[in-house]
């Protein structure tokens, strides 16, 4: 009888461990992978991957369209309750068999093995990742992290610089407490 109880407890513990690992993997970021999304995932597979969530499609008009400001299709993944999780961009527009070009992380529960997420400060990002280069735009500094094939944008206001300046930014200029403006994983 004691043997049956131990066996039952072991089976329950193993089941809980599997459920726990599965839910953590849903929010895990790796190079070429975010949760169940990989570089091989096709746009048509999004509805089955996110069957418990909602997907809003903002499709471009392609080469025939008049909207010059929207070049790419966008797929917004919302969880039940309305929280935006991810913004997915396909490689090919208006093509359900296309694979994914990039995924913007919109929820802080998504994190890397080293714990980097949307709420991470520059010092956390810098201490656990190799930042390969920094590029300046008019309104932000973009960090390139080849280990994740990711870009992280930091608003120039966080850097104490005027917006709409083309001043070059170095890693040494970025304050430790600067927060990220966007976190994008590239699948190319």
Tens digits of per-residue pLDDT, 96-147?
A: 999 999 999 999 999 999 999 999 999 999 999 999 999 998 889 999 999 9
14-39: pLDDT as tens digits: 444 444 444 568 999 999 999 999 99
Sign of the torsion angle spanned by Cα atoms 46, 27, 24, 32 = positive
Q: Is the pTM of this model over 0.75?
A: yes
Q: Range of 173's domain?
A: 112-188
* Beta carbons of 184 and 104 less than 8 angstroms apart: yes
Number of domains in the chain: 1
Determine, yes or no, domain membership for 162. Answer: yes
87 inside domain: no
Cα–Cα separations (whole angstroms), residue 6 to 2, 12, 15, 19, 75: 6, 10, 14, 20, 47
46: in domain: no
**Does residue 76 carry a pLDDT above 90?**
yes
What burial class does residue 91 get, using C-beta atoms within 10 Å of its C-beta: 0-12 exposed, 13-18 middle, 19+ buried? middle
């Amino acid at each position: 009888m004691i043997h049956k109880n131990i066996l039952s407890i072991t089976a329950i513990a193993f089941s809980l461990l599997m459920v726990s690992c599965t839910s953590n993997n849903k929010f895990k970021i790796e190079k070429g992978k975010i949760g169940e999304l990989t570089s091989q995932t096709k746009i048509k597979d999004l509805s089955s991957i996110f069957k418990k969530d909602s997907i809003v499609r903002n499709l471009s008009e392609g080469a025939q369209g008049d909207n010059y400001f929207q070049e790419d299709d966008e797929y917004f993944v919302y969880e039940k309750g309305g929280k935006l999780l991810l913004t997915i961009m396909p490689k090919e527009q208006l093509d359900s068999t296309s694979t994914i070009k990039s995924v913007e992380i919109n929820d802080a529960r998504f994190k890397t093995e080293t714990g980097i997420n949307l709420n991470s400060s520059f010092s956390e990002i810098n201490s656990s990742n190799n930042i390969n280069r920094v590029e300046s735009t008019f309104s932000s500094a973009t960090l390139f992290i080849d280990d994740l094939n990711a870009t992280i944008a930091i608003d120039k206001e966080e850097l104490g610089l005027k917006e709409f300046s083309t001043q070059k930014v170095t890693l040494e200029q970025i304050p430790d407490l600067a927060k990220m403006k966007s976190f994008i994983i590239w699948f190319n």
